[in-house]
Structure 1
Amino acid sequence: MNLTCQNSFEVRVEGSPGSLYLVATPIGNLEDMTYRAVRTLRECDIIAAEDTRQTRKLLTHFEIQPKQLFSYHEHNKGASGPEIIRYIIEGKNVAIVSDAGLPAISDPGSDLVRLAVAEGISVIPVPGANAALSGLIASGLPTERFTFIGFLPRERKDIIAQLSSFQAAQGTLLFYESPHRVKKTLEIMLEALGDRNVALARELTKRYEEFVRGPISECLSWLEEHPPLGEYCIVVEGASAEEEQRERDAWWQELTLEAHVEHYESEGMSRKDAMKKTASDRGVSKRDIYNSLLNN
């Protein structure tokens, strides 16, 4: 029996009716499925799956006959989430799974957890494989402090803005990326963060698992000769203590882009030179400054 503290103490008994189980599934190698995960999926009244077709393959492999398989994903969570919560309140145990790895990490499972917590429902993790942490521990980069970011935005200016917010973070940074976007993402990282050491973890736990380690520039050269295949976890070296201190001491941190540019204009610089200087301060390209001001 475990105790969890939310607003008040709650006695949580595994197997009691009306609980939400977050069940990890393999990220590639089916042998990473735990005994506890198999038992939980067999015993729960409902399995909520991101992709029911994918989950059926997993259940068939482990000879699990689901009592009820429920679709829950990004596009139907608004309607399916409250319905799942209603089932749990009525006394049913529900297991939620994603296509691979831990549910609620880069998928809508986190929204279901929030609904469950708001209703005072017991939320029980059934841990297992995770791509980001698997990539981190084998990267050769520091593991003492890290930040999981997941997938970056689609637009270049939004990627720059998000990366810039982590420019001075000392902890290792963890990203997910698709094969057709990984080169573009690394090119923007090189521009926004500098030529930091990274590890590209591809096809984790699968037959063709691969790690490429080195400065971003060298990894880009590698990808030119070895076209990207499979899903990637990108592990990026954090800022040095000196970089973090410089960022903390930056006088312009609280200024908007427009105010930053206007500061240099007030000192007699042309608009063009002011934007160039602002870009230099922030470690981004002048084009990004121009585009950001143009869109505001």
Structure 2
Amino acid sequence: MSASFSLALDAARAAAAAQHYPQGALYVVATPIGNLADISLRALHVLQLADAIACEDTRHTQALLRAYGIDQGRWLAVHQHNEAQGAQGVIERLRAGERVAYASDAGTPGVSDPGARLVGAVRDAGLPVVPVPGASSITAALSVAGVVQEGGAFVFAGFLPAKAGERDAALAALAQESRPVVLLEAPHRIESLARGLAVLGARAVTVGRELTKQFEEIATVECAGLAGWLAGNAKRVHGEFVLVLHAAPQAPAADEGLRVLKLLLQELPVKTAVKLAAEISGAGRNDLYQAALSLKSAATPPAA
């Protein structure tokens, strides 16, 4: 443990010890996604306070806690292969009045990481679950992607299916998505994902590689150019990836207005159709009116 983390433990006790930490509760603790300094003071305090620590990989979390100077001797392995069975062991400890902290290998548990089934089982047992928020690769990537969406809407798609057919179907659905989409990918599949995204052409994608780590790299490129960007440096295919697929560009108002106008003219008088098309699409009313006259004229058969 470095001197800086010794100070952090003191600060954690000073900042968080006065809060109430009920016994018999599961504490879901977010841990860094790469940079040890991203641990929160509250997380440090809870990890010291816990009677037992459940985690995705005991070796990984033990090494993490040793880096902070935290000595914990009671470990429970709860990962995707034993989550149902492991949850029962956690519940027994909670019923005995213990505080149990749960940490996945990196980031916030239960979000594309094990933990959701554990939390569900604890809640079904009528026992409390306390979030200890912190690092997340999803929000980290969104914060630097510059995607602006009304209401902050986005879609978290996580890891796409590994099977080619299912993966192609998922990519086809993304092509129709009007909101930003967050994807996760492993190094051995990133080139395959890049080839799949190429069909989206000029649509922008922000790539976050090794976020918060020493060799962090962030770039925004066109989907058609993602494979070339990866090939531009041999190191770029290594590490963990978070990608933000920017929202699909909206059709220009004039084009959208004309499309809506054509539909409305099939059922409504010209003036009403023009008024509604302008309100729906944002296109100029005068332009739509002239377009409506042209469409009506073209549809009128010549006099005999």
TM-score, with structure 2 as normaliser: 0.72
Percent identity, please.
35
Residue in 1 aligned with 2:99? Answer: 93
2:153 aligned partner: 145
Q: Which residue of 1 aligns with 2:54?
A: 48
Q: 1:241 to 1:117 in 2, by over 3 A?
A: farther
**Cα offset for 1:153?**
0.9
Q: Which amino acid aligns with 1:63?
A: G
Residue from 121, 130, 141 that aligns with 1:135: 141
| 2:87–2:122 Cα contact (<8 Å) kept | no
- Per-residue CA deviations over 1:129-151 (Å, capped at 9, x if unaligned) read 11111011111223521111111
TM-score, L = length of structure 1: 0.74
Mean CA deviation greater in 101-110 or 77-86:
77-86
CA RMSD in angstroms comes to 1.9
* CA deviation vs aligned residue, 1:37-58 (integer Å, no higher than 9, x gap): 0100010111001111111111
2: distance between equivalents of 1:123 and 1:29?
26
1:156 has 2:164 as partner: yes
Corresponding residue for residue 232 of structure 1 = 241
Equivalent in the alignment of 2:269:
none
Which runs of no fewer than 5 residues in structure 1 stay unpaired?
1-12, 250-296
Go from structure 1 to structure 2 and tell me whether the alpha carbon gap of 1:14 and 1:117 turns closer, same or farther (over 3 Å shift).
farther
- Report the alpha carbon displacement of residue 232 of structure 1 after superposing the two structures with TM: 0.6
- Partner deviation per Cα, 1:112-141 (whole Å, 9 max, x = no partner): 111111112111110111111101111122
Within 1, Cα distance between the matches of 2:221 and 2:113?
30
Aligned partners of 2:45 and 2:166: how far apart in 1? 43
1:241 to partner: Cα distance: 4.5
Contact 1:198-1:236 at 8 Å conserved across structures: yes
Q: Which runs of 5+ in 2 are unaligned?
A: 1-18, 260-304
SS in structure 1 of the partner of residue 198 of structure 2:
helix
The answer for the alignment partner of 2:214 in structure 1 is: 207
Q: 2:24 aligns with which of 7, 14, 18?
A: 18
Amino acid at match of 2:185: E
Q: Work out whether residues 46 and 94 of structure 1, in 8 Å CA contact, stay in contact via their aligned partners in 2.
A: yes
Contact 1:179/1:231 (<8 A) preserved: yes
Structure 2 letter corresponding to 1:216: C
Give the corresponding residue for 2:117.
Answer: 111
Q: What residue is the counterpart of 2:71 in the other structure?
A: 65
In structure 2, what is the Cα distance between the partners aligned to 1:147 and 1:170? 10
User: 1:190 is matched by which residue type in structure 2?
Assistant: A
The farther-off stretch of 24-33 and 231-240 is 231-240
Q: In the comparison of the two structures, how many residue pairs are matched?
A: 232
Q: Which has the higher strand share?
A: 1
Give, in angstroms, the shift of residue 75 of structure 1. Answer: 1.3
| Contact in 2 for aligned 1:212/1:219 (Cα 8 Å) | no
Residue 219 of structure 1: aligned partner: 226
4+ residue runs of structure 1 moved beyond 4 angstroms?
none
Give the SS at the match of 1:212.
Answer: strand
Contact 1:51/1:73, CA 8 A, preserved across alignment: yes
Q: Secondary structure at the match of 1:180?
A: helix
Assess if the C-alpha contact under 8 Å between 1:46 and 1:69 holds in 2: yes
Q: Could you tell me which of 27, 30, 45 is aligned with 2:36? A: 30
**For the residues of structure 2 that align with 1:140 and 1:71, how far apart are their CA atoms?**
38
Give, in angstroms, the shift of residue 164 of structure 1.
Answer: 2.9
Task: Determine the structure 2 residue equivalent to 1:175.
Answer: 183
1:268 matched to which residue of 2?
Answer: none
SS in 2 for 1:138: helix
Separation of aligned partners in 2, 1:99 and 1:124? 19
